[in-house]
Amino acid sequence: MNGITTFLMVMVGIRLPLYQGASADYVAPLLAMADLEKDRCNFMKTNLVSNGTDVNDTIITSNITGVNQEEVIFRYIASLQGSLIAAGAIHFIIGATGLVGVLLRFIGPVTIVPTILLIGIYLMKSVTNFAQYHWGIALMTAGLAIILSLYLAKVEMPIPLWTRKKRCHVIRYPLHQVFAILIALIVGWLLCLILTVSGALSNDPGNKDFQSRTDSKLEVISKATWFYFPYPGQFGGMGFSISAFVGFLVATFVSILDSIGDYYACASTCRVPPPPSHGVNRGIAIEGFCTALSGAVGCGHATTTYGGNVGAVGLTRVASRWVFVGVAVIYLIFGIIGKFSALFITIPYPVLGGVLIVMFGAFNGVVLSNLKAIDLSSTRNLTIIGISLLLGLMIPHWVTDYPNVINTGNQEADSVITMLLGNPNLFGGILACFLDNTVPERGISEWQISEITTKTKIKYAEGFEVYEPILPKRIKQMRIMKYLPFMPNPKESQDTV
């Protein structure tokens, strides 16, 4: 699904170089459900055998057989599938009907920056979990990527080349900057291989160094099948869970807000104008459509824009659509050929942590670049952003480190409220949006600037034609297009030609 969604987003959706993958926003509701029903995946079957008196009652506990375990798992997966399809359909409708364009009237940089920055800050927990297995390897990998992409950014490598016209000759190109992250990953992987072969890393699975070994997850490759084709109904008939649907619905709105911020961050990184409403609508619609498709084939997760890859685009300076089309094709191949995808699962954790340090660090910087559209000398703007960031970190810390602080008398309501308050970008984003729209003197004219004004004020690498869908000119000039929120208005297109 990562490959399909990336291809559709680049070619049909907002048409920016954006990678699409599994959304972490949809995991929080599942964790909340797991806390609510602690025996949900308990495969111990308990029977009460009674002889008529309390004294002689006997409790018999037995393991459910492997076949029954599969039935239980498939039943829960089926309920998640139906809930995810319904949430994806709503996600699609929000984009296709233009409701996202309406939201953009109330969502500006003062809302977007705290919301997305809180995600980047909270991702440090996941990055730490990977890097802590061996900080030396993690920092070496991150340092190499930084040296290649930043310190040597202006150095052009001599590359031998042969063409029919010039024959053998040498060109200069910053190849090391383009492939900085890939080179750092390969070097870190090779270092782990050397340390594994030399015996420098412990082969005890209980030792922390074991996850730095290149052979710690080889069983993943042996167990993976050569070919796998997902299809609707592979886990049985579709089910539906109200609690899962409500959680997915909340995650849908958070995902939409995240994606809007990623669209603007990517546009800023690629030096193109801010995305118009029809481009945003089309992008959100594609994400919703692919989320529903993910539910249909049993992926169990939604799809969304990966902000970390926006940072990678900024570091490598590679923003070509065709590169991302190639990435989509590669992911499709890896998704079908199980052995290939399993190979990448064996990447040592500290190497992955080092790469993520650079990617998410650059992403946080790109998010902050959106502040150039507002007046940073304004006490109003700075106060709203600061309060939203502080409370966005405080409230999740409060509900996480101080259990049972939410007590309404209803266990299910307590779990839902705790889940909502524990989501930093949801709380911080809503607070920032509320303050930005209620405190006087709101100004986001830089984001809502017209195409003609933009061209005269700021020099971009490309214009608004970046967001134009791939359609024949005759179809794009049809009158019906002005009534479709996800298509550019033909009259505006004529005015800018």
**What is the DSSP-derived secondary structure letter of residue 369?**
G
Between CA 428 and CA 139 the distance in angstroms is: 31
Q: What is the pLDDT of residue 50?
A: 42
Q: Is the pLDDT of residue 496 over 90?
A: no
pLDDT digits (tens, 9 = 90+) for 423-460: 777 788 889 989 988 888 765 544 554 444 444 456 66
Closest CA to 29 of 367, 473, 314, 422: 422
Burial grade of 128 (CB within 10 A; 0-12, 13-18, 19 or more):
middle
Closest CA to 364 of 461, 251, 269: 269
Closest CA to 358 of 219, 158, 151: 151
Which span out of 33-42, 43-52, 316-325, 488-497 was modeled with the highest average pLDDT?
A: 316-325
Residue 198 has which token pair? Answer: 């030399």
Q: Within a 10 A sphere around the Cβ of 242, how many other Cβ atoms?
A: 9
Choice between 457 and 253, residue whose per-residue pLDDT is larger: 253
Residue 405 has which token pair? Answer: 């602080």
Residue 67: pLDDT band (50, 70, 90) is very low
To the nearest whole percent, how much of the chain has pLDDT over 90? 9
Q: Is the pLDDT of residue 64 over 60?
A: no
Residue type, 13: G
Choice between 285 and 447, residue whose per-residue pLDDT is larger: 285
Between CA 25 and CA 77 the distance in angstroms is: 18
Q: Is the pLDDT of residue 276 over 80?
A: yes
Choice between 53 and 190, residue whose per-residue pLDDT is larger: 190
Between CA 361 and CA 342 the distance in angstroms is: 27
Q: What is the pLDDT of residue 291?
A: 86
Q: What average pLDDT does the segment 457-478 reach? A: 73
Q: What is the pLDDT of residue 491?
A: 65
Lowest mean pLDDT among 59-63, 239-243, 313-317, 409-413: 59-63
Q: What is the pLDDT of residue 187?
A: 93
Between CA 140 and CA 143 the distance in angstroms is: 5
Q: What is the pLDDT of residue 492?
A: 58
Q: Is the pLDDT of residue 215 over 70?
A: yes
Q: What is the pLDDT of residue 264?
A: 80
Residue type, 401: D
Q: CB neighbours of 320 closer than 8 A, spacing ≥ 6? A: 17
Residue 69: pLDDT band (50, 70, 90) is low
Closest CA to 286 of 117, 489, 100: 100
Choice between 310 and 184, residue whose per-residue pLDDT is larger: 184
Q: Is the pLDDT of residue 190 over 90?
A: yes
pLDDT digits (tens, 9 = 90+) for 118-157: 877 877 878 888 899 889 999 999 999 999 888 887 888 8
Secondary structure class of 44 (helix, strand, coil)? strand
Residue 470: pLDDT band (50, 70, 90) is confident
Residue 58: pLDDT band (50, 70, 90) is very low
Choice between 134 and 298, residue whose per-residue pLDDT is larger: 134
Closest CA to 408 of 396, 420, 397: 420
Residue 209: pLDDT band (50, 70, 90) is confident
Closest CA to 351 of 184, 207, 123, 198: 184
Q: What average pLDDT does the segment 460-489 reach? A: 76
Q: What is the pLDDT of residue 453?
A: 43
Q: What average pLDDT does the segment 183-195 reach? A: 92
HEC profile for 114-177? HHHHHHHHHCHHHHHHHHCCCHHHHHHHHHHHHHHHHHCCCCCEEEEEEECCCEEEEEEECHHH
Choice between 431 and 57, residue whose per-residue pLDDT is larger: 431
Lowest mean pLDDT among 100-109, 122-131, 171-180, 238-247: 238-247
Burial per residue of 191-228, b for 16 or more beta-carbon CB atoms within 10 angstroms, e otherwise: bbeebbeeeebeeeeeeebbbbbbebbeebeeebeeee
**What is the DSSP-derived secondary structure letter of residue 111?**
H
For the chain, what is the mean pLDDT? 77
Q: What is the pLDDT of residue 125?
A: 79
Q: Is the pLDDT of residue 476 over 80?
A: no
Residue 453 has which token pair? Answer: 């004004």
Q: Within a 10 A sphere around the Cβ of 181, how many other Cβ atoms?
A: 24
Residue 386: pLDDT band (50, 70, 90) is very high
